[in-house]
Structure formats: structure tokens, C-alpha cells
A and B are shown apart, each in its own frame.
Chain A
Amino acid sequence: MRNLLGEFIVELRAAGLPVSMSEHVDAARALTAIDISDRDMVKACLAATLVKNGDHMPVFSTAFDVYFSNRHASGADLGEMNEESSNADETKGDDPNATGMRGSGRSRGMGGGGGSSMSAEELAEMLFKAMQSNDLNSMRSGAREAVDRYAGMEPGRPVGGTYYLYRTLRNLDLDTLMDRLIAAGTKADADGLEERLVKDEAKAKVEALKAAIEAEIRERLVDDRGAEALGKSVRKPLPEDIDVMHANRDEMAQLERALKPLSRKLATRLARRRRKRRRGPIDLRSTVRRSLSTGGVPIDLRFKPPHPAKPEIVVIADISGSVASFARFTLHMVHAISSQFSKVRSFVFVDGLDEVTHLFEESDDPAEAVARINSEADVIAFDGHSDYGRALLVFHEKYASTINKRTAVLILGDARNNYHQAHAEVLADLKFRARNVYWLNPEPTSYWNSGDSVIREYAPYCDKVVECRSLRQLEAFVGDLA
């Protein structure tokens, strides 16, 4: 058990969770206080001692499923918890012995589901019944059956299981299943509200089935390749470490979710720092009041809260193709903490430039404003390929007079100029007028200046050019700005 725990913690650290030495010791101690044959208890125990941030829970869960799989080789340590699953096997008429089950499952999977005891219709019916009656056990065995039939798992292939999941789900036809659940749950006289509730319920059940299938696939992969190897392929980065430019749809959703709390925390921190940073003038009234407790001697001086000047921010963001999501996140974050700045103005461009400040002013939800940018901003002047030079020229012509010594100019983009003219002299003039010019580049530093990237021509006129690929880097930068 101790070895297993050690390996598990190595995996957690590799996934980015900060697990300290003393937390490791705590976890080991906690395990001695509980009944380690109870898998849920072990999980709760490790979660309580090793994970100290709610956002890290999904990463922990994945790793836990891999390392403390129901059918893990060290299952001897974890005792009798296979009982439940093998009971379910028996009802299916399969070999109750877990190992035998595994073998047959795999060979059957490779044979394309030929040896299964159920037809596709029977399986669909069984899943439907299980989900309708909320029967977790038969849902799990249904998931097992589905993986047997459809996943077509091949031993030894170094994959994380997404492909198998996709194959299983495609064959299961979950949409029909959901429709059936909805139809069965809806009463004849249901109103709109009731219909909606039934729909949400069906959705939740289908999600649960997906999770069960995913867990099943993962367990088989662990059997096949061992925890360590699999841990590496299913490891997911923490939301704040996801590379914004290359995020897939799931990761994008994760990023969206992470953004709001992150911005809120940042705003709180900045507001506090602002209040703490410098002391204002002496508050005479409060000082005299306090001095009463020391016999009228003002030992304890009180100060008025400070009112330091807030910077103005101008954001100029490239919203063409590849860097669009990065621009959206940055705009969202800057506006979410706009109370920390005296003024925020935002401009977006591709090869034309448009101001979008009003979108943020009209709505009190930055996410909504960001969504409107795509449809409402007029940013395409010619062919729709980014042209940094032209965008800067237009900006300079129209808005240069609004830039002053309190303004920080923030330019977002990869500086891939499609071989247009760079017009770096414009940036030089902006730099002369502004307090600071910063460039946030969502590309890794090693790609800068390759191909049509002209960041080197702009760099001399920026106070700082920052690589900014993840929310963590973005937050750090924006935090320093305010």
C-alpha cells in the first residue's frame, strides 16, 4: 500500500498538483485510521489529505481511478471491493471470476462483439430500464456489456481511451436512448416546466452512463498496460495550465468555467493590495479616539485609507482565427477586473479595426459581451487575414490622441502579419505617448519570428513582450498590470 501511495503521489505531482511531503505523511497516516478495503473511504481519505483545491478534484479522480482501479493488480490490498462487480457479472451469466471476465471481455472486444450473450436491442433495452429505474448496478453492467460489444479494444495500444469511448458511444446511439427516456418520463398533461425537468433528468442520466462507460474503459486499460503507463496518457492538465491556442472543445469549456472564478479572485486580491499598499494621511479623529485607551497619549497612529491612482488600459486584440480564443479570454479578464482601472477601452482587429468598449459597457457580464464581439465588431476590411500594420495605422490615426502618460497599451496577438508591412514606427509613436506598451503573445517563445511572425520588429517599442499561453500566465500578467 505504501508503495502504491508513493507512485500515486508521483502521478499527482506530474499532473501539476502541489503535493507536499507533509501531505504525503498525512495521507499515509490517514490510511492507517480507516478500513482500507472500502474503496470510497480510501478515496475520500486521500482526497482530504492530498488535494487542497476544489478545481483539482477532477484530475485527482482520474488519477485515483487509474491507480486504485477496481480490478487493479494490487487489488489484494484493497480487499473485497470486487464483490459488487463480480455479483453483477454473475447476473449477466459471465464468469464470476474477475480475471476470467477480463480475458473474455478483451477477446470478445476484438472479435467485434460476436460472442456476446445479448443482441444490440436487448442491450439498449437493458440500459434504458436501468436508467429509467436509476439502478446503478445494472447500468454499470450495461456499460461493461457495451464496451465489450463496441469498443473493439486492442491490447497494448498506447492510447488514453478517448477513441474507444467515441466508438462505444457512437454505436450505442445515446440520442435515441435519451428521447426514449424523455418520452417515458413525460406525463400527458405536462406543462413546459415539467417537460424541461424531464429533459434535464434524462440528460443527467445519459451523462452518468457516459461516465460509467469511460470508467469501464479506463479500468480495462489499466489491466492492459498498468497504472503508470496509463496515468501518463490520461493525464489532463489543470485548467489554468491548458494551452489556450491548442485547447480542444472540452478544454475550452473547462477554460470558460475557470475564467470567472479566476477573474473574481484576481479582482479581490488587487482591491486588497490597493488598499494595503500605501498608507494615506493620518486620520486625526480616529487617532484621538484610540488614544483614550492609553490615557490620551497617541501611541497608536491611525491612517486614512489610500487613494492611489488607477491606470488606464487600452487593449488592442487580434481576433483572427487561431488567436481568437486567447483574445476573448484576455478581454474577458481585463473587463472583469475593470473596477481596478480608471478606464478600459478595447479594440479588436483582423485587417480592419473596431472599438468594442460599448459592448462591455452595455452588459454587466463580460462573457456575454465577448460573445457579441464576433457578430457585431466590424473588423474585416479586405481579405480577412490579420494585418497588424494596417490595424496599428488605423488605431493611430483615430485614437492616438486619447493615449496619455497614464495609459497602458496592451496588444494581444501572435504578430503573424501574413507578410504585410509591419509599420513598427506607429508603435514607436504609441510608446512615446503611453505610459507602457505591452505585447502578449500566445505562441511559445520558440516559434516567435518564424515564418510570418514579425514580433522582433515590434519588440523594441514594447516595454515587455510576454509569452502568455495559459490562464495562469495571463492572470499573473494582468495582476502585475493593475
Chain B
Amino acid sequence: MSSIDPRQELADRLGLAEVPPARFENVAEVIERLRQNDYLSDEAIASVTFLADRLAKPVLVEGPAGTGKTALAKAVADAVGARLIRLQCYEGLDESKALYEWNYRKQLLRIQAGRSESSAEDWSALEEDIFAEEFLLTRPLLEAISATEPVVLLIDEIDRVELETEALLLEILSEYQVSIPELGTVKAKQIPMVFLTSNNTRELSEALKRRCLYLYVGYPDVERERDIIISRVPGISTALAEQIARVVRSLRNLDLKKAPSVSETLDWARTLVLLGREEIGEADAVATLHILLKYQADLEKATKELVGRGKALA
């Protein structure tokens, strides 16, 4: 099989003068460079990041809230020295906010300014004139496409937009280009890395999923969580970090409404460090559990299960 390099192929399609060099040599390098930027990945995360670069495909990152999906995109941007362009999705997001918008006011001004010498022949010239790039307001997606320097595009919480709005993204995700009816097609001037995150509040369309590599980021295991705590919370002892990670694992095994996320674990670790604790006793755990758990029912359940019978909240 004659192996086709996906990056080469994409570069040809985009008409780039040369194929941009791959960002990572191998998976180990991904892990290492992310670690230098304070992001502890695991094999799966690093492999998918590596593949995303090699195959020049977007990555759809799914998983519970607070497990470091957005942080991954940021860390990758830092690691490869690219600018991070972020599109925060919300219900009602439309193309004028995601892709581009014509600058009406400026167009209006241009028309009025031209009115004095107007005649019939001038109209076509004027029309061409007001639909030029000068009158285009770029929004994050177009900005990422038209950037000449390396960029990482983060489309955050894609599950918040309506199903129909997803379609806006399809052209960018598969072709790395944006079609503007009045202006033609804007092709990418480099190959951006694209990350989409989703909290899985609804099913995304097949068309979108098909165009992306998929990465599920769940809760880390005890060892990785401990390392995350150590790297993100200055001044914490290994023993305390380990104990925190174990408590959190036990909590996640309980059937709670909302299991503690990694970011909440970090908050808890910081609190314990501030309180000057070297290990977690029952009393500390009960007194600070509300940092990890945000529902009263969960708090009661966890207190009962972890600390045991009949110890009421002080």
C-alpha cells in the first residue's frame, strides 16, 4: 500500500506552498511536552492528540465536567506554541457570531459616501467594493482559518448549540475552509489543530462525529490523580495528595448525583494545604467535604458512608 500522508494531501488541497511539519514526533513526546505545561495526560489522551496532528483531523473530547477537557486544548496550544482561539458555544449561537458577519454600518457609510457621484454604472463597482474583506468582521472560526501563524482552535461545549447550528462547523472540520457567498472560499493558510469539547448533554449529530477523532476523558485513576494534585497544588506532600486521591475515588464509587470532578479535587487539596493539614482525619473530611460535593443529599450520603454511623455535621 502506497502510504498517503494525510497532512501532505490536505496541504495540496489547501494549496499550501509546503507541508507544515508535524508537531510531535511520537506519543512519548506528547506526554512529555504536555507535562512541561502542567498537564498530566495518559496514554489515550496523548495517543489521540498525536493522531490528531498526524491525520490533521479535529478531536471531539467528551466526558464529565471538570476532567480537563478544555485544559487539554490550552495545554496543547502552549506546548506547540500556538495561539489559542476559543469559540464558546451557547444556545442561539449563529453564524454571525461563530463564522463571520458583514459590517453593516461600515457598508452603509460607504454607500452614503459614494452617493454624491453615483450613477448606474458605478453600482457594480460599489457592490464589489462593499463585499470586500475590508467590510468583513471575522469571528473565531474564520479567524482560525485565516490566521497565518499556527493556531489551536477550541470549540467549547459544542453540545450547547442546536443540532442545526452544528452544520455550520462541518465545512471547517472536514475541509478547513469557509465559504462566503459574496466573497468565495477562504481556505486555511496553515493546518490548525481543532478541539471540540462536549459534556454529553445531548447526542451530537453523526455527521459531526464522523469528521472527528473521538476521545473520552473520564475520571483519572488514583495514581494519575495524585500526580495531577502534586503538579497543580504547590507545597502539598505526596502522602496527602495520595490520601486525597483515594478519598475522591471512594466518593466517586458512591452513587452520587454529581461525582467530584478533578477541578473540585484540586480545590479541596488547596484548602487542606491552606489549613495546614498533613493528613485527613475524619473531622477535617466532614468539615470540608462541601468543597467536593455540591448537593445536600450527596453530602449526607458521603458523610454517612465514609465516616460511618451517626456522626452529624458539626
Whether B210 contacts A268 by the Cβ 8 Å rule is no
Q: Are A34 and B51 in contact (CB under 8 A)?
A: yes
Are B47 and A44 in contact, with the CB atoms below 8 A? yes
B307 CB contacts on chain A under 8 angstroms: 192-193, 196
B43 and A272 contact, CB distance less than 8 A: no
Encode A203-223 as 1/0 by CB contact (under 8 A) with B.
Answer: 010000000000000000000
Q: Which residue of A lies closest to B4 (CB)?
A: A29
Cβ–Cβ < 8 Å partners of A49 in chain B: 51, 213-214
* Closest chain B CB from A29 CB (angstroms): 6
For the complex formed, measure the closest distance between the CB of B224 and the CB atoms of chain A, giving whole angstroms.
14
| A196 and B104 contacting across the interface, CB-CB below 8 Å | no
| Size of the chain B interface, CB-CB below 8 angstroms | 53
Give CA–CA (A268, B160) in the complex, Å: 10
Are B282 and A23 closer than 8 Å at their CB atoms? no
Known contacts A196-B250, A264-B201; A26/B308 CB under 8 A: no
A243 and B202 CA atoms in complex are apart in Å by 23
Q: Is B183 an interface residue (CB 8 A)?
A: no
Q: Are A45 and B210 in contact (CB under 8 A)?
A: no
- Alpha-carbon separation in the docked complex, A191 to B243 (Å): 13
Instruction: Check B202 against A193 for contact (C-beta < 8 Å).
Output: no
- Closest residue of chain B to A50 (Cβ to Cβ) is B214
Are B62 and A54 interface neighbours, CB within 8 A?
yes
**Given A193-B282, A197-B250, A204-B249, are A276 and B162 neighbors across the interface (CB < 8 Å)?**
yes
User: Quick check: is B306 within 8 A (CB to CB) of the other chain?
Assistant: yes
Is A265's beta carbon under 8 Å from chain B?
yes
A20 to B43 CA separation, bound complex (whole angstroms): 26
Complex: chain A residue closest to B62, CB-CB: A54
Asked if B55 and A29 make an inter-chain contact with CB atoms under 8 angstroms apart, the answer reads yes
Point out the residue from B48, B62, B305 that lies within 8 Å of A44, measured CB to CB. Answer: B48
Roughly how many angstroms separate A20 CA and B201 CA in the complex, as a whole number? 23
Q: Smallest distance from the beta carbon of B277 to chain A beta carbons, Å?
A: 13
Asked whether, in the complex, the Cβ of A47 is within 8 Å of the Cβ of B214, the reply is: yes
Mark contacts of B37-76 with chain A using CB atoms, 8 A cut-off: 1 yes-contact digit, 0 otherwise: 0000001100110110011010110110000000000000
Chain B residues with Cβ under 8 A from A29's Cβ?
4, 6, 55
- Inside 8 A of B1's CB, which chain A residues have their CB? 2, 32
Give B19 Cβ to nearest chain A Cβ, in Å. 14
A48 within 8 A of B: yes
Within 8 A of A (CB), among B189-231: 200-203, 206, 209-210, 212-216, 218
CB distance from A193 to the nearest CB of B (A): 5
Q: In angstroms, how far is the closest chain A Cβ from the Cβ of B118?
A: 17
User: Please, how many residues of chain A have a CB less than 8 angstroms from a CB on the other chain?
Assistant: 44
A22 at the interface (CB under 8 A from B): yes
Min distance, Cβ A267 to any Cβ of chain B, angstroms = 9
Query: Does residue A51 face the partner (Cβ distance < 8 Å to B)?
Result: yes
Interface centre among A23, A26, A52, A295 (most CB of B within 10 A): A52
A30:B51 contact, CB within 8 angstroms: yes
Once the chains bind, are B210 and A22 in contact (CB under 8 Å)? yes
Tell me the bound Cα distance from A334 to B47 in angstroms.
41
The reply to whether A54 and B216 contact each other, CB–CB distance below 8 Å, is: yes
A364 interface hit (Cβ, 8 Å): yes
B306, A193: Cβ atoms closer than 8 Å? yes
From the candidates A197, A264, A364, name the one contacting B247 in the complex (CB within 8 A).
A197
B105 contacts A by Cβ under 8 Å: yes
Check A135 for interface membership: any CB of B closer than 8 A. Answer: no
A401, CB-defined interface residue at 8 Å: no
A57 within 8 A of B: yes
- Considering the chains assembled together, what is the distance between the CA atoms of A272 and B203 in angstroms? 13
* Cβ A365 vs Cβ B257 within 8 A: yes
Least Cβ–Cβ distance between B4 and chain A, in angstroms: 8
Contact of A3 with B by CB under 8 A: no
Quote the shortest CB–CB distance from B43 to chain A (angstroms): 6
Query: Closest B-chain residue to A191, C-beta based?
Result: B282
B213 contact set on A, CB distance < 8 A: 26, 48-49
Is the beta-carbon distance between B297 and A364 smaller than 8 angstroms? yes
Q: Which of B2-49 contact A (CB under 8 A)?
A: 3-4, 6, 26-27, 43-44, 47-48
CB distance from B89 to the nearest CB of A (A): 13
B214 with A272: CB separation less than 8 A = no
Scan A10-40; emit 1 where CB is below 8 A from any B CB, else 0: 0000000010101100100110111100001
User: Is the beta-carbon distance between B306 and A51 smaller than 8 angstroms?
Assistant: no
Q: A204-B249, A268-B201 are in contact. Are A196 and B214 (CB under 8 A)?
A: no
A18 and B206 contact, Cβ closer than 8 Å, known pairs A33-B51, A51-B214? yes
Most chain A CB neighbours (cut-off 10 Å) among B48, B60, B250: B250
A261 within 8 A of B: yes
22 pairs from A and B in contact (CB 8 Å cutoff) = A23-B210, A33-B51, A33-B55, A34-B51, A35-B26, A41-B43, A41-B47, A44-B43, A44-B48, A48-B215, A52-B212, A52-B214, A53-B214, A54-B218, A191-B281, A192-B306, A193-B247, A196-B306, A197-B250, A265-B201, A293-B105, A364-B297
Across the A-B interface, give the 9 residue pairs with the lowest CB-CB distance, nearest first.
A44-B47, A192-B308, A52-B209, A54-B216, A33-B54, A48-B213, A200-B250, A52-B214, A48-B48
Write the residues of chain B forming the contact surface with A, with a CB cutoff of 8 angstroms. Answer: 1, 3-4, 6, 26-27, 43-44, 47-48, 50-51, 54-55, 57, 59-60, 62-63, 91, 104-105, 108, 162, 200-203, 206, 209-210, 212-216, 218, 243, 246-247, 249-250, 253, 257, 280-282, 285, 297, 305-308
Given contact pairs A54-B63, A193-B280, A265-B201, a sample of 7 additional A-B residue pairs in the complex whose CB atoms are under 8 Å apart? A22-B210, A34-B50, A44-B43, A191-B281, A269-B202, A295-B108, A364-B297
